[in-house]
């Protein structure tokens, strides 16, 4: 794995954004598609807390993506399992996920793969853990009864099939989860730990998120920042395709 440690939330976000941008340009999107991840069920699509609203307000409305390239799991589909299976099929049909971007929960979950989820699971319906419900209550005016209790989510196995995984972790409340994810063993109680067995994972975090890690780990990866920063400088642009793209080999392998 590559552990990228930045000073604070904005710097971590900016590094991740630049990295994703470079990867998109390198990927040379054409008929390439775009997938978006797991979401709570039962919320009407235009509810302000639905993932449709979230993705629209925080992402889609700011970019020029074509609506037919957006694939969001529909939590209101009549047959939820069929919806999940179809999602898996769509991923396969487009040649698999090139880059998966996600965060982790304080309980170490990736997507909504709560503690105890199979590390080879696929897209399915999951019941949310109390920890997650509590964490989400702030979006529902603190009213626990309003928080959805089930969610559709990509599975750990689904994400493991991606060619590259980028996880963003910021804040002290995620520190313990990060420790469990990278310094302890692979364990289905901390599903992010599965990525220790993925060939190509990047964790981007801020100082606060490293609070539970060993000083040795942090020093080691900070020492590699010179090399890691080559992944975001130069910033590629779609206009300068061609020569740049063909030289997309990484500075070193994991």
Partner 1 sequence: MPSNKSVSDAPIVQFTNCRILRDHQLQREDLWVREGKILNPEKVFFDEKGSADVQLDCKDSIIAPGFIDVQINGGFGVDFSLATDDFKSGIDLVSQKILSHGVTSFCPTLVTSPPSVYHQVLPQISVRNGGAHGAGILGAHLEGPFISKEKKGAHPEHCLRTFEAGAFQDLLATYGSLDCVQIVTLAPEMRRSSEVIQELTKRGICVSLGHSVANLSQAEEAVQHGATFITHLFNAMLPFHHRDPGIVGLLTSDKIPAGRRVFYGMISDGIHTNPAALRIAHRAHPKGLVLVTDAIAGMGLAPGRHTLGQQVVEIDGLNTYIAGTKTLSGSVATMDTCVRHFQEATGCSVETALEAASLHPAQLLGIEHKKGTLNYDSDADFLMLNDNLYVRATYIAGEEVWRQDASGM
Which residues of this chain interact with partner 1, rule CB under 8 A? 45-46, 52-53, 56-57, 60-61, 66-68, 70, 72
Instruction: Give strand pairing partners of 164.
Output: 99
CA-based radius of gyration for the chain = 18
- What is the spatial distance between Cα 139 and Cα 184, in angstroms, rounded to a whole number? 32
Which parts of the chain fold into alpha helices (H)?
9-27, 51-58, 80-93, 130-136, 156-160, 175-182, 215-223, 225-228, 243-246
- What is the spatial distance between Cα 99 and Cα 231, in angstroms, rounded to a whole number? 15
Q: Closest approach of Cβ 61 to partner 1, in Å?
A: 7
Q: Closest approach of Cβ 66 to partner 1, in Å?
A: 6
- What is the spatial distance between Cα 6 and Cα 12, in angstroms, rounded to a whole number? 5
Dihedral of CA atoms 103, 30, 14, 3 in degrees, nearest 10, equals 50
Q: Which is nearer to partner 1, 65 or 130 (CB)?
A: 65
**The pair of three-digit structure tokens given for residue 148, joined into one six-digit string:** 């959805």
- What is the spatial distance between Cα 29 and Cα 115, in angstroms, rounded to a whole number? 35
Q: Closest approach of Cβ 64 to partner 1, in Å?
A: 8
Cβ–Cβ under 8 Å, residues 178 and 103: no
Cβ–Cβ under 8 Å, residues 228 and 2: yes
Q: Closest approach of Cβ 58 to partner 1, in Å?
A: 12
Q: Which is nearer to partner 1, 62 or 138 (CB)?
A: 62
């Amino acid at each position: 794995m590559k552990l990228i440690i930045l000073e604070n939330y904005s710097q971590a976000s900016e590094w991740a954004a630049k990295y994703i941008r470079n990867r998109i340009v390198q990927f040379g999107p054409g008929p390439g598609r775009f997938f978006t991840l797991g979401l709570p069920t039962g919320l009407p699509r235009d509810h302000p807390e639905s993932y449709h609203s979230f993705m629209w307000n925080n992402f889609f409305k700011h970019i020029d993506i074509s609506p037919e390239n957006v694939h969001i799991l529909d939590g209101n589909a009549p047959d939820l399992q069929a919806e999940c299976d179809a999602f898996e099929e769509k991923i396969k049909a487009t040649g698999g996920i090139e880059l998966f971007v996600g965060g982790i929960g304080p309980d170490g979950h990736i997507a909504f793969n709560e503690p105890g989820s199979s590390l080879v699971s696929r897209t399915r319906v999951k019941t949310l853990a109390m920890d997650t419900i509590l964490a989400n209550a702030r979006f529902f005016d603190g009213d626990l009864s309003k928080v959805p209790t089930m969610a559709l989510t990509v599975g750990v196995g689904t994400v493991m099939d991606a060619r590259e995984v980028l996880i963003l972790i910021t804040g002290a409340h995620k520190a313990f989860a990060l420790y469990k994810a990278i310094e302890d063993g692979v364990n289905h109680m901390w599903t992010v730990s599965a990525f220790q067995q993925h060939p190509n994972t990047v964790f981007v975090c801020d100082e606060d998120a490293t609070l539970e890690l060993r000083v040795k780990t942090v020093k080691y990866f900070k020492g590699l920042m010179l090399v890691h920063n080559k992944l975001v400088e130069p910033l590629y642009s779609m206009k300068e395709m061609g020569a740049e793209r063909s030289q997309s080999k990484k500075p070193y392998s994991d």
